Structure 1
């Protein structure tokens, strides 16, 4: 590690080992990376939690807390190599073939992190972020209504279980014969049963990469309301890893639930490998079963890094299992938006819906309308174009 520069005023109380960490945040800001002071503090806290045992731990902490944009990951790695290794001609190795890590929230490791980290936004603050914050403050009643109406608004299916009915059912031969025997051969009124109707499962997959940073908080609050409102709801987050957070969101108190979820997700505001993480989801039989016959809603901008072949494969397999496959992207909140990127163009024919995911209002209205039929996404966007 190169020799550190003289310490600035206000850093005298920090350990000497913290100086290179602070310096790295300043280096990124000088090169145009949107790194807020709070992110620098989170970076040092993350390094402290990790030990660290190796330089790779420091790199992972930097990716998770400093959140370089996906299209600047190579530049970020070059700065990391230069600052911590003194290697100014570092060549960045592609991590496209790295195996996606999967984390289930089965209940273990729940007390690993002491408190939820809060982020003010720093240099990322803008009129757009202010608008999102004000809009969310006015959405408490909307989320309450969403939670109460969700279970009755989801698409329904006929269960193999049956219930007793007085009309419009099939003859319950076994019960009818018992009644005849108990009545000494008299013929009673026919006893009927019908197949029970139950709500379909709801599966929500939330993109927590750096490009979705301004929307993650609202998405998690929506996910908490969904879990509280419908018993068969499953929530996963994905970025560079896949994490199931359903158990955390079953806690009734929202602040406690979100703090627990924050402790379980390791790849906040980092890069994204949407295709590989969705394929990892499908590779686990227990997870894949959550999608079978479910209404699947993906909250992501679908800005896939590199090729989109894996994303297309994953969406095709997911769509084959799901009752309805929907992508809600905040980019669609702009009237000028068109699904013109290579990735969106490739997966558009596989989607049932491509909708606005820029606000709680648009998302709650859409999810509550899932039981109503609608034209396929490709048909709608062909008309718009």
Structure 2
């Protein structure tokens, strides 16, 4: 019988956390594991924060690896149902379930995907740094033309118009007073238009690593150009980064997003990510009536049926669903990968997304469609 099987059931989750730390390069002595368990018994614990503080005090991770320690802690403990977090409904990071029975350990990739050309289902915890870069002409064009060329929708308020479908009785009667009660002209009203919500779902997995920096800078420019924009990243988990990208300075915003997202350049589970997005009512509401843009190569390692079902649901909620992939290098692109073939019946556009210029051109072209 193994040592872990002899442990009390309540202690196994804490011992397995120590094993996870060792597997990721942390030096933890057996005496520190014993002290960790003793500290937890002493504290109660009443919350996950107590467990986190006990781990920091007894397992003593080096200061330069505190960020990795916290990510491993979240990865390990948040997935256990009997450990709850206060305000869990406000979490903006959704862990995706691995394929299988659901009781296996979450995978952590041992190898780094240098080429960025293959897809994997393993989860890699990576801290990304965005190098400073000047805003290019493409991003300046997006900032300059977004308010006039992004898609719009009809609002509920009205404004005066020469050929509106409704009569403006108030203005008409006021004008008649100046003409001794005679109505010489019937003023008209029409609905105001407003910028339609934009929803960006950005693939940050290993197969998209060559374009991640450009896509995140573009997302920041779009959020700054219109406040009615939501941005999510997905790989092995789904992360809402809108709040971070609302910071005005681009370097500061990208660094904030880098600390939120921990699955940079990792695995690819597009179907699970979209299903997780739709499963959270607050997130799914962002897609209703929105112009939804998915930036992904479609190199899926999960079940295509799962992805097909998610794309169908997303298409029904969205005003328009666009899939931008770097594989679409020509106007007559025909999807070849299993994932892109699965979603093709439900997307309105499947066009090139391999560069910022291509993405911006598509975003600005959406405004030429009539508001619905």
TM-score band w.r.t. shorter chain? 0.5 to 0.7
Distance 1:362 1:42, change over 3 A: farther
The residue number in structure 2 matching 1:274 is: 270
Distance 1:217 1:61, change over 3 A: farther
CA RMSD in angstroms, aligned pairs only: 3.9
Could you tell me whether the CA contact under 8 Å between 2:271 and 2:303 is conserved in 1? Answer: no
Query: Which structure 1 residue ranges, 5 or more long, are not aligned?
Result: 1-17, 25-40, 78-115, 121-135, 374-385
Whole-Å separation in 1 of the counterparts to 2:109 and 2:128: 15
1:147 to 143, 148, 156: 143
Once the two structures are superposed, the pairs formed by residues 247-266 of structure 1 within 5 Å of their partners are 247-266=243-262
Whole-Å separation in 2 of the counterparts to 1:366 and 1:149: 13
SS state at 1:215 partner: helix
Distance 1:53 1:272, change over 3 A: closer
Distance 1:249 1:137, change over 3 A: closer
Distance 1:208 1:302, change over 3 A: same
Kindly indicate whether residue 129 of structure 2 is the aligned counterpart of residue 118 of structure 1.
Answer: yes
Kindly indicate whether residue 349 of structure 2 is the aligned counterpart of residue 362 of structure 1.
Answer: no
Query: Which structure 2 residue ranges, 5 or more long, are not aligned?
Result: 1-20, 28-61, 79-104
Whole-Å separation in 1 of the counterparts to 2:349 and 2:295: 12
The residue number in structure 2 matching 1:329 is: 325
Whole-Å separation in 2 of the counterparts to 1:330 and 1:53: 33
The residue number in structure 2 matching 1:232 is: 228
Q: TM-score, normalised by structure 2?
A: 0.65
Whole-Å separation in 1 of the counterparts to 2:110 and 2:254: 17
The residue number in structure 2 matching 1:219 is: 215
Kindly indicate whether residue 301 of structure 2 is the aligned counterpart of residue 312 of structure 1.
Answer: no
The residue number in structure 1 matching 2:202 is: 206
Q: For structure 1, which segment, 341-350 or 42-51, has the greater mean C-alpha deviation from structure 2 after superposition?
A: 42-51
Whole-Å separation in 2 of the counterparts to 1:355 and 1:228: 24
Offset at residue 269 of structure 1 (A): 1.9
Distance 1:361 1:21, change over 3 A: same
Whole-Å separation in 2 of the counterparts to 1:362 and 1:299: 11
Offset at residue 322 of structure 1 (A): 1.4
SS state at 1:164 partner: strand
Kindly indicate whether residue 296 of structure 2 is the aligned counterpart of residue 297 of structure 1.
Answer: no
- Kindly provide the CA deviation profile for residues 157-201 of structure 1, in whole angstroms up to 9, marking residues without a partner as x: 222210123444521224434665797744363232111122222
Whole-Å separation in 1 of the counterparts to 2:277 and 2:74: 29
Could you tell me whether the CA contact under 8 Å between 2:205 and 2:265 is conserved in 1? Answer: yes
Whole-Å separation in 2 of the counterparts to 1:203 and 1:261: 17
Offset at residue 371 of structure 1 (A): 2.8
Q: TM-score, normalised by structure 1?
A: 0.63
SS state at 2:327 partner: helix
Kindly indicate whether residue 344 of structure 2 is the aligned counterpart of residue 348 of structure 1.
Answer: yes
Could you tell me whether the CA contact under 8 Å between 1:42 and 1:117 is conserved in 2? Answer: no
Q: For structure 1, which segment, 240-249 or 309-318, has the greater mean C-alpha deviation from structure 2 after superposition?
A: 240-249
Whole-Å separation in 2 of the counterparts to 1:200 and 1:345: 28
Whole-Å separation in 1 of the counterparts to 2:315 and 2:75: 41
Offset at residue 144 of structure 1 (A): 0.8
SS state at 1:159 partner: strand
1:171 to 167, 170, 178: 167
Offset at residue 63 of structure 1 (A): 4.2
The residue number in structure 2 matching 1:3 is: none
Could you tell me whether the CA contact under 8 Å between 1:202 and 1:296 is conserved in 2? Answer: yes
Distance 1:248 1:194, change over 3 A: same
SS state at 2:264 partner: coil
SS state at 2:367 partner: coil
Offset at residue 358 of structure 1 (A): 1.2
- Kindly provide the CA deviation profile for residues 205-243 of structure 1, in whole angstroms up to 9, marking residues without a partner as x: 001112211111110000001111122111111112211
Distance 1:159 1:42, change over 3 A: farther
Could you tell me whether the CA contact under 8 Å between 1:330 and 1:356 is conserved in 2? Answer: yes
